[in-house]
Amino acid sequence: METKYAKAKFLDVFKYSFGGLGSNLAFFLVMSYLTFFYTDIFGISSMVVSGLMLISRFIDAFTDPIMGMLGDHTRSKMGKYRPWIIWGAPVLGFLIFLLFTAPDLSPNMKVVYVYVVYIAYSLASTVVNIPYHSLTPVMSQDPYQRTVIVSWKQGMGTVSQFIITIMALPLVEAFGGGKQGWAIYGALIGILTTAAFWICAWGGKKYDVCDMEKERVPMNMAKDLKLLVKNKPMLMLMIAFGTDVLANATYSAVNMYYFKYVLNRVDLVPKVASAILFAGIILLPLLPALSKVFGKKRLYWFGSLFSIVPLVVMWMKPTASVTILMSMMAVFGFISRIPSNLGWAMLPECSDYGEWKFGQRADGLMSSSLTFINKFGMAIGGFIASFFLGLVGFVANQEQTPQVINMIVFLRFGMPVLGYIASLISMAFYEITNEKYSQIRTELDERKKD
């Protein structure tokens, strides 16, 4: 007899998916333009930016799991996770504006400013995003609908990618260009981010509920962290997902440099971004069915494998024709969407595995682990790009040496290949197949009946 799982209503899923818009607006804006903004607009050296990215991730190493555990142990009339989203969203939105504001300061004070604002932004992102991702397994117990929910979230993320990668430069110019244009655009994104997260919290209202009569379980960090360390599938997912994010972050961090200094065609940025974006849109409605047929593990592995192909082609021919560039990037946009989307859909499986194996559920902690690895991969990608560009003598707004050009090409295409190879190796050790997960869910349901 087929198991009947508790499901979320479509309208609630749709509202909750706005979290994908809010989360990815900030994600794509920072990943695609912050390094460029700091070096070419604000006048900060690439080495300073690389140090900032690295230090902030060390801070996240402590704050992310703490936030996950705080969410798991929160009890309020508004739920476990929603209060953090509702109150944290406007703070996050304001800090996005400050990230892309370039006040007139001395060189030393500029460094202080970017460190304070970026670290504050990172903390606010932690407070909002970890509870947001923790809501996914709370919204639905159905494995297939969970993938559908993630697809809706990523679909909204695609909207944010359009707003950032395609509309950013034209809107910055429309707002006056330079410092003024970026500041107004940052304010716009901050407002949209706040509104999107509030709609997301509204969608989760019926499902994020707490039994106020139940005795509160005190937070035990050591005990909770052991649940993560002993969860082998979660560790393998973190490595695979993190190296995929690293690949995409390095690729994105040098995006503007590639078009500006290698191709001398900044006008191609929105066109190539459109090709990548719309190719990814084609995949999204197919993902739930594909994961059901092939299994998430197998689909993830092949997604990482075939993402390498267009990168290698462009690595060998970095100044190929516009037609080849557009074609290869469209292929990359389609295939690379598979692992980047599936990672979040596999997260509830790892939470279920932990409950099945160790008898305790920790959705917030598991979500915080993947959120941390997402931010860590993004920052390390930015650090690698900034560090190696500085190492070979990159100086903004001038003709670059052959060494700098070669480094930009390697960071754009070669480094991501290494990231995807690492992902392949890790995912080979991920043990939750379709059959294994079916067994886990059946046994968990039987325990609840007892």
- For the chain, the domains span 10-209+220-449
User: 404: pLDDT confidence band, cut at 50, 70 and 90?
Assistant: very high
**pLDDT tens-place string over residues 355-382:** 888 887 777 788 788 878 877 787 788 7
Rg of the chain over CA atoms, in angstroms? 21
Residue 1 confidence class, pLDDT cut points 50, 70, 90: very low
Q: Which of 207, 228, 205, 217 is nearest to 74 (CA)?
A: 217
* Residue 214 pLDDT class (50, 70, 90 cuts): low
Measured distance CA(212)–CA(224) in Å, rounded: 22
Residue 269: the pLDDT is 86
Residue-wise pLDDT tens digits, 224-260: 778 888 899 999 999 999 998 888 888 888 888 999 9
- The count of other CB atoms within 10 Å of the CB of residue 30 is 27
87 CB-side CA count, 13 A: 8
Tally of CB atoms within 10 A around 213: 5
Band (pLDDT 50/70/90 cuts) for residue 142 is confident
Q: Distance between CA 58 and CA 40 in Å, rounded?
A: 26
Average pLDDT over residues 153-159: 85
**Per CATH, which fold does 10-209+220-449 belong to?**
Growth Hormone; Chain: A; (1.20.1250)
Residue 12, CA distances (Å) to 136, 239, 443 in order:
12, 32, 28
Confidence of residue 47 (pLDDT cuts 50, 70, 90): confident
